[in-house]
Amino acid sequence: MTHLILALAVLTLRVDYYHTGNAAEERFSLDRVVVEPLSWPGNPAKPVDDTNLGKYRFAVVDAASGTTLFSRGFASIFGEWETTAEAMAMNRTFSESLRFPSPDKPVRITLEKRDARNRFQEVWTFTIDPADKFVARGMAAPDAGPLMKLHEAGDPSEKLDVLILGDGYTARERGKFERDAKRLVAALFATSPFKERQGDINVWGLSPRAAQSGVSRPSQRIYRRSPLGTTYDALDTERYILTYENKAFRDVAANAPYDVVEILVNSTTYGGGGIFGLYSTVAADSAWAAYVFVHEFGHHLAGLADEYYTSAVAYLPPAERIEPWEPNVTALLDPASLKWRDLVGAGTPVPTPWPKSEFEEHSRSIQERRREVRAANRPEDEMNALFREQQARESALLASGPWGGKVGVFEGANYEARGYYRPQQDCIMFTRDEVGFCAVCRRAIQVMLDLYSRM
């Protein structure tokens, strides 16, 4: 019990900073250092992240001894935006945060980014003295209503703490948020490996009061000043839901113990998003909310890449194809260096054949019809019917053939038809089919669950 009491007594320190730049350069500047109102909820047994995931990584280093006290890999909105066409023409600034258990003496914070060869290189460093008078203390978090215990498995320091935040819910809709959250948590816990690991996960809920129901959707000229600032059309992609209001989101989240955050958007229009180590989002009332919730949570928790490549995205193709850091996609065809080589059965051809041309032909027709539905602002029921049609055809196609359900090296992933490969013909990271996570994605999720919950 002494170990537990000491772990819970550690304060939570948060560094808010600005990330500015374009496709060719980036800069960082300190905004503020804040002591959050709740104790650090993280696993005291595993302060150092050894997963080697993330486009970025930060470390908290004891200034006197040079010992690494804490580290985490992560991704960011800037890290995605810098790969868009807009980033080639202008600068933008994004607010970001680093959270860690508060040290008791000065520390050096180092921020690293992967270079063109995928190696981490230092891009920013600064020193923090936790006793400094400019470290903000005693700041009450904004009112977000009572904390909901949606699934309580044990002490936060021994569990993965998932915080579900509502955005676009009015005070009268707080009950709706709780029902939405419970429904989507049930979908998560019906999916392996979360189903088997429920005892390692706490789920909390907060729903700050919105003045109006719903969130912004600029493509339809809908604008809302919601508490978390979530919006459709992020990075000019109509289905992509993000918030750029980092400090608003962080200040609300400080009302709860959390390692990861899911934002439920009070909307029926299909959409969502997920960024490793930042948050994931979903439109709670979409007919596909359960799928989107689980898919995007895979991005956020485990750094899983999108395996699809036929849907429109904002990102430009890379100038040079390098091995992705994400655990479920690869650019390598050498069986000896394959990330998931131990899961590939003897005799499996590399690359592994699959009905690729047939899939692509059908997908192209679906994408054309999808654009027509959105351009004409036709009812959401038409989009849902189109997705159901797509699901039925692709489920049958991707379950067929000698390698259906087997682990191999299937070309087409990471938004590219050629040169990137995924582990199985079908997966929740590839389609909306009811197939769950593939074997490689399940293993990646287990690794992250262990990082946060295993002592």
Q: What is the pLDDT of residues 207-260, one digit of tens each?
A: 999 999 999 999 999 999 999 999 999 999 999 999 999 999 999 999 999 999
* Closest to 290 measured CA to CA, from 151, 169, 186: 186
**86: pLDDT strictly greater than 50:** yes
Question: Angle CA(339)–CA(344)–CA(345) in degrees, nearest 5?
Answer: 160
**439: pLDDT strictly greater than 70:** yes
> Which one is predicted more confidently, 367 or 318?
367
The whole-number pLDDT of residue 448 equals 98
Interval 330-348 mean pLDDT: 94
**80: pLDDT strictly greater than 50:** yes
**1: pLDDT strictly greater than 60:** no
> Which one is predicted more confidently, 7 or 300?
300
Rounded distance between C-alpha atoms, residue 380 and residue 73, angstroms: 37
For residue 37, the surrounding DSSP H or E stretch is: strand 26-39
Percent of the chain exceeding pLDDT 70 equals 98
Rounded distance between C-alpha atoms, residue 187 and residue 289, angstroms: 9
**182: pLDDT strictly greater than 70:** yes
391: exposed, middle or buried (C-beta count within 10 Å: 0-12, 13-18, 19+)? middle
**40: pLDDT strictly greater than 60:** yes
**314: pLDDT strictly greater than 90:** no
**2: pLDDT strictly greater than 60:** no
The whole-number pLDDT of residue 139 equals 84
Rounded distance between C-alpha atoms, residue 426 and residue 302, angstroms: 18
Q: What average pLDDT does the structure give for the chain? A: 95
- Per-domain residue ranges of the chain: 2-128, 148-303, 342-447
For residue 80, the surrounding DSSP H or E stretch is: helix 77-81
Could you give the 3-state DSSP secondary structure of residue 200?
A: helix
Rounded distance between C-alpha atoms, residue 67 and residue 110, angstroms: 12
The domain defined by 2-128 folds into: Immunoglobulin-like (2.60.40)
Rounded distance between C-alpha atoms, residue 105 and residue 101, angstroms: 12
Which residue is listed with tokens 């019917």? 385
The whole-number pLDDT of residue 441 equals 98
* Closest to 273 measured CA to CA, from 230, 210, 336, 329: 230
**7: pLDDT strictly greater than 80:** no
The whole-number pLDDT of residue 316 equals 83
The whole-number pLDDT of residue 454 equals 82
Let me know if the fold of 2-128 is the same as that of 148-303: no
Quote the DSSP letter at residue 92. E
The whole-number pLDDT of residue 5 equals 33
**Residue pLDDT, tens place only, 115-169:** 988 899 999 999 999 999 999 998 888 899 999 999 999 999 999 999 999 999 9
* Closest to 451 measured CA to CA, from 40, 43, 162, 55: 43
User: Contact at 8 Å (CB) between 173 and 266?
Assistant: yes
**347: pLDDT strictly greater than 50:** yes
The whole-number pLDDT of residue 45 equals 95
Could you give the 3-state DSSP secondary structure of residue 439?
A: helix
| Architecture per CATH, 148-303 | 3-Layer(aba) Sandwich (3.40)
The whole-number pLDDT of residue 311 equals 87
